[in-house]
Structure 1
Amino acid sequence: MRCKMNQNIKWGILLSVTLILGACSGKSSAKKAPENETVPSCCQNVPSRFGSATQKEKQGMVHIPGGTFMMSGDNDQARADEFPKHKVEVSGFWMDIQEVTNAQFKEFVDATGYITVAEKKPDWEEMKKQLPPGTPKPDESVLVAASLVFNPPNHAVNVNGGPVWWNWVQGANWKQPEGPGSDLKNKENYPVVHVAWEDAMAYCKWAGKRLPTEAEWEYAARGGLSSEIYPWGNQNVDEGSVKANSWQGQFPNQNTGRDGFYASSPVKSFQPNAFGLYDMAGNVWEWCADWYDADYYKTVKDGVVNPQGPKTSYDPQDPTVPKRVTRGGSFLCNDAYCSGYRVAARMKSSSDTGLSHTGFRCVADISEN
């Protein structure tokens, strides 16, 4: 059956701000989104569980030594928002060796009673603040607890013609990743998905950790390499041995499954980089702490120490919606579309967006004790 984007799917995509896979190109005269640096209220009453970095070391983290690197794109696949190349110095920190799993997130939810964004009915009064003035309110059948689930067409499509491979599925969330009737059986060791930035922040606070800055994430992904394209070096993702979970074949309708997986894979399914970090390329996109600004690198082109990202968000493709950075690519990434598994590749999404290919990992500061 031909896959069509019906009105409900269009509204779901609009409300969840899901156009995060397109390349960021061009300029816009639109103003930057309003500054909003406060931590979401969802995190304010979440108790911390852990203490010092010494304790965290025993809980699946590795020490990333401080250093200096050149941040930005390394080949002709790099997009405009990846330039200019600039010098960045980062202090040492601890980083999870893997993406947060379903089992780990369940432990957090069981301990706190936390309810994710995807499990809540959208607040139209808040949503419309991020939409063009005059946008009509959608039907109540769309304003339901839901998330976006990958739904591949059965035929070739124009990948630049809009993301027709997403369905707004009522009842889809981290516990039911494909929607009602699905569950996490035998997926305890898979990365948790359908988590919004707010959800990731809440987990980090409970775990006594935080989200990585975009600079920390790229520095860690490079694993000590200087200007290589991928965490493993410069060999193309589809050449030689399988290196990451990505889309192999014609995106989005045909996946050869050469890597052994059609969708996400258990953490640690592929070789780690030189820092001992798994899945820094492919599997699921990972939230970073920073606001996304397409022009941010231009403001730090002369070099920067421990950058925390821009003060405001600016996406010329979607200027009314504040976005956060995601990094690392996912099982949907393919050279014909986004090549998001490159260490310098930048992507973005609104903080209240959850998708079936987005998760996160945590970092922690080095304790002085």
Structure 2
Amino acid sequence: MHGSRLLVGIAIALVAESSCIPDVEPDVFVLPRCDQVAPACGPEEKESCCAESKVVGGTFNRLNDAAFPATVADFRLDRFEVTVGRFRQFVAGYPATRPKAGAGAHPLAKDGGWDPAWDSSLPAGQEELRASLECDANFRTWTDEPAGNEAVPINCASWYLAFAFCAWDEGRLPTEAEWNYAAAGGNEHREYPWGAAAPSQDLAVFECETTTTVCPVPHVGSKSPAGDSKYGQADMAGSLFEWVLDYHVPLSGNCDNCAALEDGDLGRDARGGAFSHTAETLSTTFRVGELPERRLSFYGFRCARDE
């Protein structure tokens, strides 16, 4: 366990069936950079926006396809997408909060840390960073001063900025295999994070008709607990697409704590669907690539940490 995290509570419930990975309720931790983040998340807007939970590792099939087996070690994953309020401290310290070489690496994925060649893909200074978060006049969530969006997920962040934040927060972006494993409930191979039930507005934030409607992105965890994943993560379907570490490349063969770290000219991978997208994007088998420098109102992220 990370030395600077304060353990608040742990609850673990085991399922008798040995064929499935046990259900695990979220462990609640105060993460390293959360001393100024108000507990305004979850369905009653009272939970720590910095909560995370342990994902018990194991073996499963990526995309629920036996052609793509994978093994994932235990790790921790944010319960919520990174919020505006949580991101605000990173902005306040910028550019000192930019990552050093090798920061944010997955310990089992070779060469997965920050590459200094990416420095030029980050904003030069705080003013440029603030401007970069205003990618969409109607749907951006950032405000230069706290103004009611502190528990809403931060959007308009490029892959580079998402990586930089997680490294600053003493974590990292999850690999695609880790994200898929957590969303699918490990070897339960769930069609959606909550199970097999068809998506509905009670389970996920999706299908806003953005061409005719301005749909404010709700605070994180607004569909919890009904829409939660097995390991307690909220909004792994809908809300915002989430950047992961990997390049977007065709899957192949067996994956043992792996990550796709060679550029296939298809951008970086993202998962989970968004408020502005259809139900088909909410499936745990849906994946999409995007240029890492893009800043989009329907993209966000959450961070992982090593167990």
Structure 2-normalised TM-score?
0.68
Could you tell me how far apart the structure 2 residues matched to 1:327 and 1:107 are?
Answer: 26
1:341 maps to which residue? 282
RMSD: 3.0
Matched, 1:291 2:247: yes
Q: Is the CA contact (8 Å cut-off) linking 1:64 and 1:92 kept in structure 2?
A: yes
Aligned to 1:230: 192
- Judged with a 3 Å threshold, the aligned counterparts in structure 2 of structure 1 residues 225 and 69 are, in CA distance, closer, same or farther, namely closer
Question: Is the Cα–Cα contact under 8 Å of residues 117 and 196 in structure 1 kept in the other structure?
Answer: no
The answer for the alignment partner of 1:311 in structure 2 is 262
Change (3 A) 1:145 1:71: closer
Q: Find out whether 1:351 has 2:304 as its counterpart.
A: no
1:268 corresponds to 2:221: yes
Following superposition of structure 1 onto structure 2, how do residues 84-123 of structure 1 map, counting pairs within 5 Å? 85-113=67-95, 117=123, 120=128
Give the whole-Å Cα distance in 1 for the aligned partners of 2:295 and 2:268: 12
In structure 1, C-alpha distance between the alignment counterparts of 2:177 and 2:215, rounded to whole Å = 30
**Structure 2 vs 1, CA of residues 342 and 354 (structure 1 numbering), >3 Å: closer, same or farther?**
same
Contact 1:246 1:331 in 2 (8 A): yes
Q: Aligned to 2:202, which of 233, 238, 242? A: 242
2:165 and 2:182 map into 1 onto residues whose CA distance is 21
Tell me whether 1:186 sits opposite 2:148 in the alignment.
yes
- 1:149 paired residue among 123, 127, 136: 136
TM-score, normalised on structure 1?
Answer: 0.57
Distance 1:237 1:53, change over 3 A: farther
Shift of 1:263: 3.4
- Who is 1:325 aligned against? 269
Structure 1 residue 279 corresponds to structure 2 residue 235: yes
Residues 1:227 and 1:66: Cα distance change in structure 2 (over 3 Å): closer
**Which amino acid counterpart does residue 70 of structure 1 have in structure 2?**
N
What amino acid is the match of 2:276? Answer: L
Paired with 2:163 and 2:58, the residues of 1 have a C-alpha distance of 26
Quickly say closer, same or farther: Cα 1:291–1:280, change in 2 above 3 A.
same
Cα drift, residue 103 of structure 1:
0.6
- CA offset at residue 86 of structure 1? 1.2
Task: Say which structure, 1 or 2, has more relative contact order (CA 8 Å, 6+ apart).
Answer: 1
Say if 1:150 and 1:356, in contact at 8 Å, map to a contact too. Answer: no
Percent identity among equivalent residues? 28
Secondary structure of the structure 2 residue equivalent to 1:149: coil
Q: Report deviation, 1:341.
A: 1.1
Equivalent AA in structure 1 for residue 172 of structure 2: R
Amino acid of the residue matched to residue 79 of structure 2?
I
The one-letter amino acid of 1:190's match is V
Structure 1 gap ranges (5+): 1-49, 75-82, 122-143, 152-165, 167-171, 177-182, 256-260, 316-322
CA deviations over 1:40-87 (Å, ceiling 9, x no partner):
xxxxxxxxxx95475583331111111111111x5xxxxxxxx77411
User: 1:149: how far off?
Assistant: 2.4
Cα distance change on mapping 1:146 and 1:278 into 2, 3 Å: closer
Say which SS state the counterpart of residue 190 (structure 2) adopts: coil
Q: Can you give the 5+ residue segments of structure 2 that lack an aligned partner in the other structure?
A: 8-28, 32-50, 99-121
Aligned to 2:54, which of 47, 57, 63?
63
Q: Identify if the C-alpha distance between structure 1 residues 349 and 117 changes in structure 2 by more than 3 Å, giving closer, same or farther.
A: farther
Query: Which residue matches 1:208?
Result: 170
CA contact (8 A) 2:141 2:154 kept: no
2:61 match: secondary structure: strand
Aligned residues of 1:66 and 1:91 also touching (Cα < 8 A): yes
Say if 2:76 and 2:306, in contact at 8 Å, map to a contact too: yes
Output the CA distance in 2 between the equivalents of 1:273 and 1:254: 31
Counterparts of 1:86 and 1:186 in 2: how far apart (Å)?
Answer: 43
